[in-house]
């Protein structure tokens, strides 16, 4: 096992987004000697309120773009590690307009890698299991670190591109980099365009939830706190140049997740509407996290999905001021797409 790396000053790109902000909270709560600089462009998915409650002495917030090379260079000159969450990440948006995904996910990652190379900053890149394409519903296989890339959407193809850039900068320039590809995160502070919070907030607003296609698409769910702890393990103890898959054996069909939400909110099992399927909709994702578990000894804590889902429902119920402002515009956009 590699000697433990002990960062004191880390940059978190996209730290005002869903999994980025949860990671920042996790670091502040669990790593008392670490100062975090958050770099976030505060696009629609970034929310400064996601970082509320973090002591000023523990975090510096910088409103900026990861494609802004002079700004990135200035920040990297004073850091010893970066955890790169920043990305355009919504599949439907990538299908409607791929251009921002190419700019942020590819050009932005390139800009960060060049700064990491110049300032010798440790680089951890957050990616997705979607780069591997999908699996058949009846296939017993799961994704591993050796699964060939086969992205389906503009989103997943730009994430695959960014992964390959990270690997090239490690191989060619010696950038001290690691990559993690994670399954679907859930938990507090997730934008309401995403599957679980959209269903929860629809019910809270008296809107019937909607389900794509036949509802049999399978996703591998992990609580965002477990994802955060895994990322920290990889950043501090992972082998340079290696990729680690992060998952918690949480495979569930979309219709099963929706019906669990309906049951948890006192609704009937069929109290939803079917809508036409998303173009190129991947059927199944499943993560084999054996390498992460055996090499670094990581284990998830949130293994009871029903309990984690109940906590997530309660968070959205208790924080309407966080999501209500975006709800009307989000649903109007989906209505225009027939979804």
- Which residues does 195 contact at the CB level (< 8 Å), separation at least 6? 184, 219, 254, 257
- Residue recorded with tokens 């680690």: 244
Active site residue 285: no
Handedness of CA 267, 273, 274, 278 (dihedral sign): negative
The answer to whether residues 180 and 127 touch, using CB atoms and an 8 Å cutoff, is: yes
Going by C-beta distance under 8 Å and a sequence separation of 6 or more, which residues neighbour residue 97? none
In the three-class reduction of DSSP (H, G, I as helix; E, B as strand; rest coil), residue 189 is classed as: coil
* Per annotation, catalytic residue among 88, 129, 226, 288: 129
Give the active site residue among 130, 163, 225, 226. Answer: 130
Question: Among the options 65, 88, 155, 288, which is catalytic?
Answer: 155
Active site residue 130: yes
How far apart are the two ends of the chain, measured CA to CA in Å? 48
User: Could you tell me if 126 and 86 are in contact, meaning their C-beta atoms sit under 8 angstroms apart?
Assistant: no
Residue 155 falls in the annotated catalytic set: yes
**With 0-12 CB in 10 A as exposed, 13-18 as middle and 19+ as buried, what is 308?**
buried
Nearest to 284 by CA among 137, 110, 164: 137
Distance CA 205, CA 328 (A): 10
Query: What is residue 279's DSSP assignment?
Result: T
Token pair, residue 227, equals 């994802």
* Closest to 187 (Cα-Cα) out of 293, 84, 90, 314: 314
Residue 119: helix, strand or coil by DSSP? helix
User: Which residues participate in catalysis according to the annotation?
Assistant: 129-130, 155
């Amino acid at each position: 096992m590699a000697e433990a790396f002990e960062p004191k000053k880390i940059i978190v790109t996209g730290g005002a987004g869903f999994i980025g902000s949860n990671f920042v909270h996790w670091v502040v709560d669990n790593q008392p000697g670490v100062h975090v600089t958050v770099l976030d462009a505060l696009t629609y998915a970034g929310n400064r309120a996601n970082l509320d409650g973090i002591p000023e002495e523990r975090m510096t917030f910088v409103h900026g773009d990861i494609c802004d090379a002079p700004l990135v260079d200035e920040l990297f000159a004073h850091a010893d590690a970066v955890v790169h969450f920043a990305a355009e990440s919504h599949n439907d948006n990538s299908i409607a307009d791929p251009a921002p995904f190419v700019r942020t996910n590819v050009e932005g990652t390139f800009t960060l890698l060049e700064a990491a190379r110049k300032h010798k900053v440790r680089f951890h890149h957050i990616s997705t299991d979607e780069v591997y394409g999908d699996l058949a519903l009846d296939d017993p296989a799961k994704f591993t670190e050796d699964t060939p890339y086969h992205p389906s959407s503009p989103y997943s193809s730009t994430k695959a591109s960014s992964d390959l850039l990270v690997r090239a900068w490690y191989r060619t320039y010696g950038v001290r980099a690691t990559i993690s590809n994670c399954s679907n995160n859930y938990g507090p502070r997730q934008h309401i365009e995403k599957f679980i919070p959209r269903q929860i907030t629809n019910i809270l607003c008296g809107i019937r939830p909607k389900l794509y296609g036949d509802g049999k698409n399978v996703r591998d769910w992990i609580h965002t706190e477990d994802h955060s702890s895994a990322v920290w393990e990889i950043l501090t103890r992972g082998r340079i140049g290696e990729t680690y898959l992060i998952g918690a054996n949480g495979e569930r069909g979309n219709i099963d997740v929706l019906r669990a939400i309906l049951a948890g909110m006192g609704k009937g099992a069929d109290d939803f509407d079917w809508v036409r399927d998303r173009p190129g909709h991947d059927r199944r994702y499943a993560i084999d996290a054996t390498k992460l578990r055996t090499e670094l000894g990581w284990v998830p804590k949130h293994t009871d999905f029903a309990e984690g889902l109940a906590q997530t429902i309660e968070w959205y119920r208790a924080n309407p001021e966080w999501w209500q402002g975006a709800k009307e515009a989000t649903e109007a956009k989906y209505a225009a797409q027939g979804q």
